[in-house]
Structure 1
Amino acid sequence: MPVQIRRPDRRECERCGRVERWNEAADAWRVDGGGGDVFCIHEWDINGAFLPFEGTED
Structure 2
Amino acid sequence: MSVTITPPRKRECELCGREERWDDDLDGWQIAGETGNVYCIHEWDINGSFTPLEKSNLS
Q: One fold, TM greater than 0.5?
A: yes
**Counterpart of 2:14 in structure 1: which amino acid?**
E
SS at match of 1:37: coil
Alignment partner, residue 39 of structure 2: 39
How high is the sequence identity, in percent, across the aligned residues?
A: 53
TM (norm. structure 2) is 0.89
Is 1:20–2:13 an aligned residue pair? no
Residues of 2 paired with 1:34 and 1:45: CA distance?
16
Whole-angstrom CA distance in 2 between matches of 1:53 and 1:28: 20
- Runs of 4+ with >4 A deviation: none
Count of residues paired in the alignment: 58
Gaps of 5+ in 2: none
Q: Which runs of 5+ in 1 are unaligned?
A: none
Any idea what SS the aligned residue of 2:33 has?
A: coil
1:55, distance to aligned residue in structure 2 (A): 2.8
Aligned position for 1:5: 5
Larger strand share, 1 or 2: 2
1:53 counterpart = 2:59 = no
Q: Aligned Cα RMSD in Å?
A: 1.4
